[in-house]
Each structure stands twice: as C-alpha cells, then as structure tokens.
Amino acid sequence: MAKLKWLDAYYNELRSKPDMGEIEWRSCFIDCVLKKGLGYPSKLVRNEKGHTDIRILAPHGISHIVFETKILDSDLDKRATLNKARGYLQGGESFLVLASPHRLRVFTPKGNHIQDITLVEKEIENNATFWQLSYGFMLQKGHLIPFREGSFDYCYIPVHADDGFAKFVTALQLCGGLLLRYLKKAWVEHENRYSEYQQELADLQSQIDSLQSLPINEEEQKERLDIIEGERNRLGQQYKASIEVMEVSFPAFQRIQPYSKDVTSKELLDIYLADITYAALNRILFVRIAEDKGLLERKISNGGIGIWRRFVTYLKENYQDLIRLAYQDAGYIYEHFFEEGIFDWYVKGNSELNETLENILGVNPLGWTQ
C-alpha cells in the first residue's frame, strides 16, 4: 500500500514542534492536509481573520466548506464549537468541518453529523467522506448530487435576522457577479455571430447584384432569386437569437434610456448587462420568496430541482427551461413582472448558462419563511 507522503510530512511537522500553538498548527494543517492531502489550490483556501478559521471556496467564488479549528481535540465535541462554526456559513456550503490536529468532525451545513475521521493512513486512504471533502470530488461536481436530488439541507439561514440579511447581501453580490460574467461572454458570442450573419447577407446581396450581368432569361433569374431568398430565410433562423439581441432587444433599450446620448457605447452596454442581471436576480428572488411562503410549488429551490430532474429525461441540466417554467407559473401572481421583454434573451443560453444557474440556485439555505 502506497504511503500518504503528505500525511507523513504533516506528522513529522507536528513531532518536530510539540509545543506548536493553534495559529502555527493551522498553517501546517492548511499546507499539508488541505492543499496536499485534499488537493486544493492556494487560491481557493482562505485563512480568515475575524471570521471562520478556514474557508474553502469553489472555483466560482461561492463558499464550499467551512473549517473551524481547535488545538484541543475535546473542543470538537462541544456544541458551542459547532454553533460557532455554523455562524460562519454563507449559504452555499456543502460541508462544515471541525478540525483538531488528529481528527476531523464532518457535518452537513445544518449541523447534522456525517462522520468523524481520525487522521491516520488506514482510515483516510479509502474513506468516502474524506474523498467528498476533496478538490477532486468538487471538480467532478459530486458535491452537487444532494442538491440535484433535492436532499440537500435547505432554508436554515433566516434572512429576516440581521446576520442572515448580511449573508443574503453577500450571496446576492456573488450570484450577480456570476451572472454578469456569463452575460459578458454571451454578448461577445452574439456580437460575433451577428457579424457572421451580416457577412453572409452581404455575400447573398453580391449574388443578387451579379445576376443583372448574367446572360440568363427572366424565368431563370427568378429561380435563382428564389434560391437566394430561401438561403436568406435559412440564415435568419440560424442566427435568430443573435439577430433578436442585436436588432431588437439592445436597440429598444437604447431608445428608452434618457442618458444614451451622454455615455459611450461601452458604458451603455455595461448598463444594459447590469440591468439584465438585476432583472434576472429580482425574478429569481421573487420566485424563491413565493415558494418559501407557499404561494408557489417548489421549482427552483431545494426539492423542486429534484422533482424537475426526475420528471425530465434529456433536460436535467437545462436549468433555463426550469427557470422559464418558474417564470411562467409566477406570472399568474404578478403578470407584468414576468412578461418577456428586452432583458430575457439570456434565458435562451447554452450549457455555460446552465452551469451558472445551477451555481446560483445552489445558494439554497437562505430562507424567507418568516
């Protein structure tokens, strides 16, 4: 059986400094256990002063695991230690871990105990829970399985409390950043595709112009024009989404903005994409509140995702379809708010949109039941 070199290095460090204090040990723990043992890159590991001892971030920036460290092993068994650690949750975590130099106590974010793991080779090497804490497991999106199945801890951070509201604001900023990042990439794609469309149209127009100089009769000329017109219609369908964005939605936004003549085109585009982000998050938030209040059946909050994935066969990852369904249903409560308009083209996105929406919808623990 291969030796776990990182574990040997960890215990060699502990043995070389028997009087190591908590701060120094925490640094050793981060380097040996979190980075080398669990595989996390440095950029995703936060040693937070004044907050949780250690926070592991997912690549998109949302909190993934909270570690509360204690130099005394007996402190891990105290309810106060768990309660303190839960106070550091931000709403997107998959696990909460209490750690001492020789043991990990793994919990769900809601505080349900999963397993104690002693940091010895024979227990770690094939331990499923230890693997679930790893960077590799997160990259495989294994941590999303409970969310996708609808079994993930839900609604345990009440937004009506001061601390809960502050966490809601933080989550909203993170989710807004994720969506805006997607929108900027999607805009560039639509811009490029629209340029392709215009070039294709220019080529067709050149063919039409050249017909005038060809030695063909009127009937043959008409046949060729019909073929070109058919190709024009085909292009219209092929580039339909980009045409809608560039010829309908954005121009309509420009017309209704009183300051559109006072800012650069880039500034106006930034305003437009920011407004789309605000509109999308407001709608998602409206649906979430309505679901928590019992006004709508769950679709985009925990439980609803699981039902959706069991209901469909090939659309399990197509969260934009679930979002459209949620909007349509919520429209019976507030019709005007959910009317399709110039801010809605993003919903017809691709797999990257689905991943973005999954990350946003995964911030489930924030609740509006009160």
Average pLDDT of the chain is: 88
Burial (Cβ within 10 Å: 0-12, 13-18, ≥19) of residue 250: buried
pLDDT category, 361, cuts 50, 70, 90?
confident
Residue 26 counted as domain residue: yes
Residue 145 counted as domain residue: no
- Together in a domain, 108 and 219: no
- Together in a domain, 135 and 169: no
Helices and strands in the chain: count of H runs, count of E runs: 15, 8
- Together in a domain, 200 and 325: yes
CA count, 13 A, side-chain hemisphere, 51: 14
- Together in a domain, 354 and 277: yes
- Together in a domain, 169 and 80: no
Q: Which of 211, 240, 187 is nearest to 352 (CA)?
A: 187
Q: Which of 82, 109, 140 corresponds to the end of one domain?
A: 140
- Together in a domain, 185 and 247: yes
Among 250-254, 283-287, 315-319, 349-353, which stretch is predicted with the lowest mean pLDDT? 349-353
Residue 156 counted as domain residue: no
pLDDT for the residue numbered 129? 96
Q: Cα–Cα–Cα angle for 345, 346, 352, nearest 5°?
A: 150
Residue 151 counted as domain residue: no
pLDDT category, 4, cuts 50, 70, 90?
confident
- Together in a domain, 335 and 245: yes
Residue 370 has pLDDT above 70, yes or no: no
- Together in a domain, 228 and 360: yes
- Together in a domain, 78 and 216: no
Residue 308 has pLDDT above 60, yes or no: yes
Tell me: the pLDDT tens digits for 289-303?
898 888 999 888 877
Reading the block at residue 104, the tokens are 């990990």
Residue 127 counted as domain residue: yes
pLDDT for the residue numbered 123? 86
Q: At 27, is the secondary structure helix, strand, or coil?
A: helix
Residue 193 counted as domain residue: yes
- Together in a domain, 205 and 295: yes
pLDDT for the residue numbered 122? 85
- Together in a domain, 102 and 241: no
List C-alpha distances in Å: 281 to 37, 287, 301, 318: 37, 10, 14, 18
Q: At 100, is the secondary structure helix, strand, or coil?
A: strand
Q: Which domain holds residue 126?
A: 5-140
pLDDT for the residue numbered 318? 85
pLDDT for the residue numbered 1? 33
pLDDT category, 349, cuts 50, 70, 90?
confident
Cβ-proximal residues to 236 (8 Å cutoff; 6+ apart), any chain: 243
Residue 153 counted as domain residue: no
- Together in a domain, 297 and 193: yes
pLDDT category, 150, cuts 50, 70, 90?
confident
Tell me: the pLDDT tens digits for 51-60?
668 999 999 8
What total of structural domains would you count in the chain? 2
Q: Which residue has the higher pLDDT, 233 or 349?
A: 233
Residue 222 has pLDDT above 90, yes or no: no
Residue 198 has pLDDT above 60, yes or no: yes
DSSP state of 318: -
pTM higher than 0.85 for the full model?
no
Q: Which residue has the higher pLDDT, 37 or 160?
A: 37
Mean pLDDT of 87-95: 89
Residue 147 counted as domain residue: no
